[in-house]
Structure 1
């Protein structure tokens, strides 16, 4: 399955762009941020194809007091600098700082996407795609009527909700690099 009409690609951050911290831990600063293989090339490929790349990420660690908004923004600034050096970039970052059931933006709710659609009025359900590694990413896409690609990074570890995400997603891939190469040529 190819997605030829996609112009806006919404990426989850932790688990898609960078290695996700172990359960109960968080990527709280740039030192904790480890790129997954091929991510820079995949994002550069999306940029070169004229697609807009938007990060939508839950950052619950803020509500738990483990880090703050400024630290998330510093991570995103460093991420952008790193990508720029690789001739790639993220067009926008949206993050939810809330804990569960405190807002309308924490995925699987759709507030982050709705904000992006307001900021990018050309984006629509017909030309957007979500790539994520959790059931909440895929459920948010489903609620919005968007196609999605579920990233199943480590087949040895079955994440909670992975079976449901596989069924609900439009496609499944092992990495962002593979997803871009296989579905967004």
Structure 2
């Protein structure tokens, strides 16, 4: 592996499929009752924060454009997640969402507008000191376009021919692959072994 995870300042994390269980194709996380944290995900974020790293969530939320839910619903989910993390003295530094449909903006991953939004809030952020953790091809392409190290999460995969092909391509393109966010964080914090 030619890439190394070192000198990390920030970890950009996709949401659905990395932090929480991804819904089946065509279904959406519309409320906290739909939001099921994956095993070890909250603790992984806590460990990143204890290590002094920025934790930035970047998520495509096309369901807003489709009218399945709205930005207030998303804000409520994120507020509840923050509450869960606060109980462990941690928080996500920023949530950046793309509420748009395909081909209508510059922020829908794999485009890089969400990074630009995060950098506007935290000017210290740089791609070279950032890692992207995601579970889809668009996540990995987002990180690679910016020059970030990329980690593909392969643990919460949903079947379907298109999804399987997407996952295979993402796994090949990513710098590293792990079954879960917890194991990815082990590597970022140099307590695990990257493969």
Question: TM-score band (shorter)?
Answer: over 0.9
Which digits, 9 at most, give the CA deviation of each residue in 1:38-97, with x for residues without a partner? 011111110010000000000010001000010000111011001111232100000000
Q: 2-side partners of 1:103 and 1:156: how far apart?
A: 27
| Unmatched segments (≥5 aa) in structure 2 | 191-195
Which digits, 9 at most, give the CA deviation of each residue in 1:92-119, with x for residues without a partner? 0000000111111000111001111222
Aligned alpha-carbon RMSD (Å): 1.5
2:166 to 152, 161, 171: 161
Shift of 1:156: 8.0
Q: 1-side partners of 2:158 and 2:140: how far apart?
A: 21
Cα 1:52–1:98 change in 2 (3 A) is: same
Question: How many pairs are equivalent?
Answer: 185
Q: Judge conservation of contact 2:16–2:22 (CA < 8 Å) in 1.
A: yes
Q: 2-side partners of 1:160 and 1:98: how far apart?
A: 24
Which digits, 9 at most, give the CA deviation of each residue in 1:114-138, with x for residues without a partner? 1112221111122111000000000
Aligned to 1:151: 153
SS at match of 2:59: strand
- Give TM-score, length-normalised by structure 1: 0.95
Q: 2-side partners of 1:133 and 1:146: how far apart?
A: 15
Runs of 4+ in 1 over 6 A off after TM superposition: none
Q: Judge conservation of contact 1:2–1:182 (CA < 8 Å) in 2.
A: no
Q: Judge conservation of contact 1:40–1:88 (CA < 8 Å) in 2.
A: no
Q: 1-side partners of 2:63 and 2:156: how far apart?
A: 23
Q: 2-side partners of 1:156 and 1:91: how far apart?
A: 29
- Give TM-score, length-normalised by structure 2: 0.90
Shift of 1:6: 0.7
| Unmatched segments (≥5 aa) in structure 1 | none
1:63 to 62, 65, 70: 65
Aligned to 1:26: 28
Are 1:170 and 2:172 an aligned pair? no
Which digits, 9 at most, give the CA deviation of each residue in 1:120-159, with x for residues without a partner? 1111122111000000000011111111100001468463
How do 1:1-185 and structure 2 match up within 5 A? 3-154=5-156, 157=159, 159-185=164-190
